[in-house]
Amino acid sequence: MFRQALRLLRREALSGELRLLLAALIIGVASLASVSFYTDRLAAALDQRKAEWLGGDLVVSANQPLPDRWREQAEQSGVEQSSQMTFRSVVVSGEQMALSEVKAVDAAYPLRGTLSLVGEGDQPRVVAGAPPPGEVWVEAMLLHKLGIEQGATLQLGRVELVVSGVIHNEPDRGTNFINMAPRIIVNEQIILASELIQPGSRVNYQLSLAGASSAIAALQRTLEPQLRNGDRLTTEPDRDSATGTALERGQRFLQLVSMVGFVLAAVAVGMSAHRYALRHLESSAIYRCLGASARWVLGLYTTQLLLLGLLGSVVGVLLGYLAQLVLEQLLLNVFAVTLPAATFTPLLLSLLAGLLITIGFGLPPLYRLREVRPVRILRADLPAPQLSAWLLYLPPLLTIVLLLLLQGGELLLTALVIAGVALTMLFLVAGALLLIHLARRIEPRGVVMRFALTGMTRRSTIAVLQIAAVGTGLMVLLLLSVVSRELLQSWDEGIPDDAPNLFMINVQQAQVAGISDFLAARGQRQPRFYPMVRGRLIAINDQPVSAENYRADRARRLVQREFNLSWTESLQASSPIVSGEPWRPASGEAIWSVEQGIAEELGIRLNDRLTYEIAGQPVEGRVANLRLVDWDTFQVNFFVIAAPGMLDPHQATYISAFHLDSAQQPLLVELVRNHPNLTTIDVAALLQQIRDIILQVTRSVEFVSLFTLAAGFLVLFAAVQTSMDERLRESRILRVLGASRREILRALTTEFALLGLIAGTLAALGAWLVGYLLADQLFRLDYQLASWLWLIGPLAGVVGMTAAGIWATRRVVAVSPMMKG
Amino acid sequence: MLEVQGVGKRVVSPEGPLDILVDISFTVQAGESLAILGASGAGKSTLLGILAGLDEPTHGGVWIGDQPLHQLDEDGRAAVRRTQVGFVFQSFNLILSLTALENVMVPLELQGVAQARQRSEELLYRVGLERRLHHTPNHLSGGEQQRVAIARAFAASPRLLFADEPTGNLDSATGQKIIDLLFALNRDQGATLVLVTHDVELAARCGRRLQIEQGRMLPFAAEEQN
Ligand SMILES: Nc1ncnc2c1ncn2[C@@H]1O[C@H](COP(=O)(O)OP(=O)(O)O)[C@@H](O)[C@H]1O
Ligand SMILES: [Mg+2]
């Protein structure tokens, strides 16, 4: 039987159905494999370099200086240690300035991994320890921003430093892909002289520890009870940071799109297997007639299918491997890590997935070959054996559920994907049914039009399937290529031209008046300064707050960290009070005004009593109202605002946001020279960076969705094949009746163009709906009805479907009236 | 060799029950040849299907050798077909994706015969297709396809050979050659032949004849010609 199966496969490999089945398998598996390979490599990279990224085996970080006692304790337990300080600061060179992430290190840095500088030629040079006190190592980006070269002098606070090296690899840079400011590394000894660190400055103090795991564990036990509020002790790099979340979302999104492609491909596999089975009813009857048992016949075709499945899966995995190299290139700047080689896990999983769809989608239709009766050989007009709907539809459904579980692992997400795909399909199918129904009303003029219209309306099941499949592919692509870009654009346009483009933080109280006057004297609007005090929420209505009380990641993070509080006499008009009383701080009562979103997240209600711990002291007050804040305006605002007098002004630093034309840049340089502790953040540059990253991620998902579109077209081909015999017969009759090839071609073109028009229009509508919902619900934007979608969608549908349809039915056009059928 | 007793076939059609065959009984001895004659639609193919164990009768029974076909299940009948029965059909019924040689090999391989290839080649030489071994049916003429079918029918050395209008799709000259070949091979192998036809001349070449009309035997006509 195996020999027979191989023989059949060799002969039939080029038959239409098997070619299609193979193509569908390859596309489906490749779609899945590309993303699994990539995400697997990314995960491996994250894992492998865990200690490196963390900067040690154990890291203590704090926003206040660390007690010397800890260093002594580390010393005693015999582990290596290194301490660092990181903070943001502006560096100045000549007339240029730029924000940088300063890292001040000691001689032991780095404990794990290697720090290398760009050296002679292209060979990176590994260095250890801190740069000499008069020197600084910088990221190339900074040189670019300042327009200087290695060897130039930088001013950092009150000190001047010579750029003596360009950083090539910084081991503990972490996964922070939003590179807000280029890194500079300096010797910790210069910090005092630089006068950069003032009371209230945001500085991260870090003690990295590395050594034998037992010693590390013991030290961890010693240090843990000594931790102060806001101190953190970690053995894992920060994964629940915003970066980590974004990373995870990006991966999930890729997986989702690849899964949609996979499901469509699976449908094509099922359809071609179905047709294959129908075409082999007679062969099965012959085998049975020659004395083969029903089991043998089923075994024969099953073996053949499995062999094909294996072949398709292997080729698909190879293609997927190549595709993930493209993904790697597309996302090079987003995840700035070198990825390790791929492992066998995604390879095996993708192979398994390919075999699973072969079995789940391909085998059930073949099962009818078992039911063929040998007497069929005498009566070829016997109806094909029917299969129960359970047998036909249940295995595919189970296969998909199983695969989603294998991929995503999360039940909820799996259910969501299934629901989403089902909803999309439902939408497309309903739309297609409606439009085809309408098309039935058209009174065709001429034979071409009639042939085209009846082709669509009479084979309406097939037509609906074709529309749904191609429509899904198109919709995903439109969503990524048109809608996402238009959303970004309308976000951009929503930002007023004179919106602040510059944030100034770390301003000391004593500097506020001076800076205001400085700007006013130079014709700038006087910026408003807001006080800022850092505090941690410790109790709501006297109930202690802890991370364990919350399920959502964001809420857990919010209660673990300190965040910024402010105080004011009058709330900004741009953030209206949505519930509670007007802001009357003059009453002397201790009251808070809380942003609505965060109140919801933390379960804070009106009139709750919140207790914050600020510099070790509890501050209590009543929630007087909830505010709505539109963060997109780039105005300074706060989650929680206190009445004046509740917070100690001596602990405050000030923040301001203002708009400065690029021509006024020298003003800023002057300002920073005079006040070295100031930190200015260029919002425009930051936004540009976020936009770039979104575009890159979008492009990579777009790339994966090409598989989805290809799979959609495979379903189209499979559907065309189902109608092929009928089409050939009709075409032959038309030819006998005197129709020319041109006319048949025109009829087919019209039919597929109509189908494409419907698919494209529905896809555009679907993409627009999704875009609208996203804009309205998630981003609070206006998504305009006037969109390129309405042009691109139908056009792509018509062109794609006509080309594919004509290609698939070229035999129908070529048919000669004399051919026997 | 082949015994048929009171065989009937009733099917349920939209217009109610329909008797396609009624009370057919006869016996064929080993080595004999029998022609089943009748007009188109008389029920010849239905009868042949039942005789060969492709279909089940609704009444009566069929014995091949001493095996009661009507008491076997499908797999049991498949085993009988595999070992004892060969077929030649009007529409050739070759497996389109296999070559001539491979088509002939199928019954041998189903039986697990070791020298399947060699025996198949010999048979194809015997039917004059030595230069067409590796052609698929689509590349063979109707006559050539029927030769392959004959070679395949004899491949497993069946004791019983059924032929359903083997010349029905061929022109008369080719048909004549095919029939000559069929009888010659049948003689060589000493198989029992049951041949369905509406061609009286062809029927005359068989030892015995059986006439069917609207599903019933015309015993007297058969006796007359005997
Ligand atoms: N399963 C069936 N259901 C309904 N009608 C049948 C069935 N099998 C055979 N027939 C009918 O019985 C008659 C005899 O068919 P057949 O045996 O093929 O005749 P022949 O081979 O003599 O031309 C035909 O009219 C045919 O349509
Ligand atoms: Mg017949």
Helix (H, G, I), strand (E, B) or coil at A800: helix
A13 and A73 in a single domain? The answer is no
Q: Cβ separation of A294 and B102 shorter than 8 Å?
A: no
A371 and A283 in a single domain? The answer is yes
Contact A255, A408 (CB under 8 A): yes
- Please give the C-alpha separations between residue A725 and each of A94, A99, A279, A458, B124, in angstroms, as whole numbers: 79, 70, 11, 15, 34
Paired tokens of A240: 């629940």
A691 and A782 in a single domain? The answer is yes
Q: Cβ separation of A375 and B96 shorter than 8 Å?
A: no
Quote the mean pLDDT of chain A: 83
Closest-CA residue of A relative to B165 is A378
Ligand 1 pocket residue status of B40, Cβ below 6 Å: yes
A778 and A812 in a single domain? The answer is yes
CA B47 – ligand 1 centroid, Å: 9
Query: Looking at A632-736, which runs of residues are DSSP E strands?
Result: 640-642, 653-658, 679-682
Going by alpha carbons, the residue nearest to atom 1 of ligand 1 is: B11
The class of domain B2-220 in CATH terms is alpha beta
Query: Per residue, what are the HEC states of A71-85?
Result: HHHHHHCCCEEEEEE
A448-472 residue pLDDT tens:
777 788 778 878 888 888 888 888 8
Strands A204-210, A617-627: pairing is: unpaired
Q: Of B10, B46, B89, which is best to mutate to test ligand 1, by the most ligand atoms within 8 angstroms of its C-beta?
A: B46
For residue B206, give how far its alpha carbon lies from the nearest alpha carbon of chain A (Å): 22
Pick from B78, B83, B91: CB nearest A288: B78
Q: Cβ separation of A283 and B74 shorter than 8 Å?
A: no
Query: Of A607, A626, A658, at which residue does a domain stop?
Result: A658
Q: Cβ separation of B164 and A378 shorter than 8 Å?
A: yes
Q: According to the model, what pLDDT value does residue B222 have?
A: 47
ipTM of model: 0.88
d(CA A506, CA A338) in angstroms, rounded, equals 35
Residue A239 lies in a domain: no
Instruction: Output DSSP code: residue A373.
Output: -
Q: Cβ separation of A290 and B82 shorter than 8 Å?
A: yes
Contact A792, A764 (CB under 8 A): yes
Residue A665 lies in a domain: no
A227 and A322 in a single domain? The answer is no
Contact A678, A518 (CB under 8 A): no
Ligand 1 pocket residue status of B11, Cβ below 6 Å: yes
Strands B208-213, B33-38: pairing is: parallel
A5 and A49 in a single domain? The answer is yes
d(CA A315, CA A436) in angstroms, rounded, equals 38
Per-10-residue mean pLDDT of chain B, 226 residues long, equals: 92 89 92 91 91 91 90 89 89 87 89 88 92 90 92 91 89 89 88 90 89 84 46
In this structure, how many other beta carbons lie within 10 angstroms of the beta carbon of residue A638? 23
Point out the ligand nearest to the CA of residue B42.
Answer: 1
A139 and A262 in a single domain? The answer is no
Q: According to the model, what pLDDT value does residue A761 have?
A: 92
Query: Of A409, A434, A469, at which residue does a domain stop?
Result: A409
Q: Report the predicted TM-score, pTM, of the whole model to 2 decimal places.
A: 0.74
d(CA A468, CA A449) in angstroms, rounded, equals 23
What are the beta bridge partners of residue A166?
A: A138
d(CA A317, CA A131) in angstroms, rounded, equals 47
Closest among A697, A709, A771 to A35, alpha carbons compared: A697
For residue B91, give how far its alpha carbon lies from the nearest alpha carbon of chain A (Å): 9
Residue A277 lies in a domain: yes
Point out the ligand nearest to the CA of residue B163.
Answer: 2
Closest among A99, A62, A106 to A80, alpha carbons compared: A106
Residue A241 lies in a domain: no
d(CA B163, CA A51) in angstroms, rounded, equals 81
A182, A187, A189, A192: CA torsion to nearest 10: -10
A750-787 residue pLDDT tens:
889 988 999 999 999 988 888 888 777 766 677 777 67
CA B53 – ligand 2 centroid, Å: 16
CA B48 – ligand 2 centroid, Å: 9
Closest among B171, B129, A298 to B137, alpha carbons compared: B129
A306 and A442 in a single domain? The answer is no
Helix (H, G, I), strand (E, B) or coil at A46: helix
Enclosing domain of residue A711: 410-496+682-821
Q: According to the model, what pLDDT value does residue A14 have?
A: 62
Residue A664 lies in a domain: no
| A286 reaches B (C-beta below 8 A) | yes
Structural Rg of chain A based on CA atoms: 33
Q: Cβ separation of B95 and A293 shorter than 8 Å?
A: no
Helix (H, G, I), strand (E, B) or coil at B209: strand
A485 and A353 in a single domain? The answer is no
Helix (H, G, I), strand (E, B) or coil at A384: coil
Ligand 1 pocket residue status of B41, Cβ below 6 Å: yes
Q: According to the model, what pLDDT value does residue A701 have?
A: 82
DSSP readout, A190-233?
Answer: GHHHHT---TT---EEEEEEES-HHHHHHHHHHHGGG--TT-EE
Q: According to the model, what pLDDT value does residue A760 have?
A: 93
Long-range CB contacts for residues A496-500, cutoff 8 Å, separation at least 24 = A496/A633, A498/A659, A499/A633, A499/A634, A499/A635, A499/A659, A500/A634, A500/A635, A500/A636, A500/A657, A500/A658, A500/A659, A500/A683
d(CA A623, CA A602) in angstroms, rounded, equals 13
Q: Cβ separation of A296 and B110 shorter than 8 Å?
A: yes
Q: Of B10, B15, B20, which is best to mutate to test ligand 1, by the most ligand atoms within 8 angstroms of its C-beta?
A: B20
Structural Rg of chain B based on CA atoms: 17
Contact A145, A182 (CB under 8 A): yes
d(CA B49, CA B87) in angstroms, rounded, equals 10
Q: Cβ separation of B97 and A283 shorter than 8 Å?
A: yes
Closest-CA residue of B relative to A374 is B54
A631 and A519 in a single domain? The answer is yes
Residue A699 lies in a domain: yes
A372-412 residue pLDDT tens:
888 888 877 777 777 777 877 888 888 888 887 776 656 66
CA B44 – ligand 1 centroid, Å: 8
| A398 reaches B (C-beta below 8 A) | no
Paired tokens of A660: 């400065």
CA B224 – ligand 1 centroid, Å: 27
Q: Phi then psi for A117, rounded to 5 degrees?
A: -115, 155
Q: Cβ separation of B48 and A378 shorter than 8 Å?
A: yes
Task: Name the domain count of chain A.
Answer: 4
Paired tokens of A17: 């159905």
Residue A259 lies in a domain: yes
Specify the residue for token string 């697997």.
A40
Q: According to the model, what pLDDT value does residue A177 have?
A: 46
Q: According to the model, what pLDDT value does residue A623 have?
A: 94
The parts of chain A modelled with pLDDT lower than 70 are 1, 13-14, 46-50, 119-122, 173-180, 237-249, 333-337, 407-414, 417, 632, 686, 689, 778-780, 786, 817-821
Q: Which residues of A touch B93 (CB under 8 A)?
A: 282, 285-286, 289, 377
Query: Of A351, A382, A409, at which residue does a domain stop?
Result: A409
Question: Most B CBs within 10 Å: which of A289, A296, A300, A370, as the mutation test of the B interface?
Answer: A289
Q: Which atom of ligand 1 is nearest to the CA of B196?
A: 21
Q: According to the model, what pLDDT value does residue A160 have?
A: 93
Q: Which atom of ligand 1 is nearest to the CA of A379?
A: 18
Pick from A282, A285, A293: CB nearest B75: A293
Q: According to the model, what pLDDT value does residue A418 have?
A: 72
What are the beta bridge partners of residue B34?
A: B194, B208
Ligand 1 pocket residue status of B206, Cβ below 6 Å: no
Residue A667 lies in a domain: no
Ligand 1 pocket residue status of B33, Cβ below 6 Å: no
| B176 reaches A (C-beta below 8 A) | no
What are the beta bridge partners of residue A3?
A: none
For residue B92, give how far its alpha carbon lies from the nearest alpha carbon of chain A (Å): 10
- Please give the C-alpha separations between residue B53 and each of A368, A665, B6, B38, B68, in angstroms, as whole numbers: 21, 97, 16, 21, 10
In this structure, how many other beta carbons lie within 10 angstroms of the beta carbon of residue A311? 16
Residue numbers of B between 91 and 120 with CB closer than 8 Å to A: 91, 93-99, 102, 106-107, 109-111
Point out the ligand nearest to the CA of residue B164.
Answer: 2
A201 and A292 in a single domain? The answer is no
